Amino acid sequence: MSTQNSTATSSTSSSGVTLDEVLQAAKAVTSRYPESYYDELDRTGGYPHEFIKDAMAAGLGAIMVPAEYGGMGLGVREASVVTEEIHRSGGSGSMLHGQMFMMGILARHGSEEQKRRVLTEVAAGRVRLQSFSVTEPNAGTDTSKITTRATREGNQWVINGQKVWTSRAAHTDMLIVLARTRPPKDPAKPFDGLSCFLVDVRGVDPKQFQLRKIDVIFNHHTYEVFYDNLRVPENALIGEEGKGFKYLLDGLNAERVLITSECIGDGRWFVDKAVKYANERVIFGKQIGANQGVSFPIARGYAHLEAADALRWKAAEMFDRHENCGAEANMAKMLASEASWELANACMQTHGGFGLAREYGIERRFRENRVFQIAPISTNMVLNYISQHVLKMPRSY
């Protein structure tokens, strides 16, 4: 038995491309990268250069880029089919999803010049826009407290500060960096005065852009970044100065939908592995899946995953209609990350001791899935969002 991708019953997009066509294009690429490819990268700490190149060549990374800039002109709905499929096949979509939502920020808020100069190159796979540099060690979740500054000097901006958890910073040509350009006009609106910059790090002096890798429990390439008098041209500013947080939130809603779909993909992978093993493994003279202590946790997790998936489509469609989907995107992400983690545990438990054996691959995916309840937004912060913005209860901070 193999669970269906949720795209199977979905309809045609406004551009005339069906979700099934997008899924088939994604499958054509993922079929060339079996689980053994990711197992090997996990063992060696390698970076999936070949996979990214291949996926970009197939146009999968540029799904959300308007056709006039070399993309497919589709929405996050279609993009999420790709990231789900990558995770469904045992891989990791983070390298692609970062690029997808950052291109989305440029497409929605960048200048015409930036779109022609950068978006077309990224969409063609010639320039890598892989990193998003927001989080800082002393600000953490409270982005309003970031201290990285960008100061105007003539026709340049000079960036100084320290970031942490800037994923893929060593594997990108450009990053989007959030920096403060002025104090907020109204202290009650602390996000005012933050700006987004499109920073080209090709050929920069390494002293001005220093990286230190952070080792984490799975094969993820994430870095501390030190910006030391890094000079960028004035056309690096995205949109209006001081409004960067607004652009960021818009992009983050797209990222939440993509993360949701990655969790859905993980969840389906865990269900398939668990069900297969539960049907095959015979102990005490019968299949272990005949014991409700084994089957119920898988069935319960599957039900939770399907519910999360329904909300994922709603959030994606609202985002693509340019509606405020903050509540839906956050809730979908929380539910999907919890459901996939529930299934990760059920899958591990179903496999008994073999769940811990490297050769079964369960432990790699178990380690990889845990991050989704922490980053890019923690479960607590989603609950804060629902409490304050949806249910109008008092702020806790």
Binding site for ligand FAD (CB under 6 A): 132-135, 140-141, 165-167, 216, 220, 222, 371, 374-376, 378, 380-381, 384, 396-397
Comparing CB distances to ligand FAD, the nearer of 38 and 165 is: 165
**How far is residue 191's CA from residue 244's CA, in Å, rounded to a whole number?**
8
Our CB check for ligand FAD shows the closer of 204 and 375 to be 375
Residue whose tokens read 């809730």: 331
Least Cβ distance, residue 275 to ligand FAD (angstroms): 29
> Residue for token digits 């709905």?
77
Q: 120 or 160, CB closer to ligand FAD?
A: 160
DSSP state of 52: H
Helices (H), 118-176: 120-123
DSSP of 318-362: HHHTT---HHHHHHHHHHHHHHHHHHHHHHHHHTGGGGGSGGGSH
Question: If you ran DSSP here, which 8-state letter would residue 194 be given?
Answer: E
Strands 129-133 and 174-180, by their bridges, are parallel
How near is the Cβ of 70 to ligand FAD at its closest, in Å? 24
The amino acid sitting at 207 is K
What is the enclosing helix (H) or strand (E) of 130? strand 129-133
Task: Provide, rounded to whole angstroms, the least separation between the CB of residue 88 and ligand FAD.
Answer: 21
Based on CB atoms, which residue is closest to ligand FAD, 7 or 166?
Answer: 166
294 — alpha (psi -120 to 50), left (phi > 0) or beta? alpha
Pick between residue 17 and residue 371 the one whose CB is nearest to ligand FAD.
371
**Minimum CB–partner distance for residue 86 and ligand FAD (Å):** 17
Tell the smallest beta-carbon distance from residue 183 to ligand FAD (Å): 22
Closest CB to ligand FAD belongs to which residue?
A: 140
Given the complex with ligand FAD, which of 28 and 374 has the nearer CB atom?
374
CA 336 vs. chain centroid, Å, equals 13
Q: Can you tell me the distance from the alpha carbon of 347 to that of 200, in angstroms, rounded to the nearest whole number?
A: 43
Nearest distance, CB of residue 182 and ligand FAD, angstroms? 21
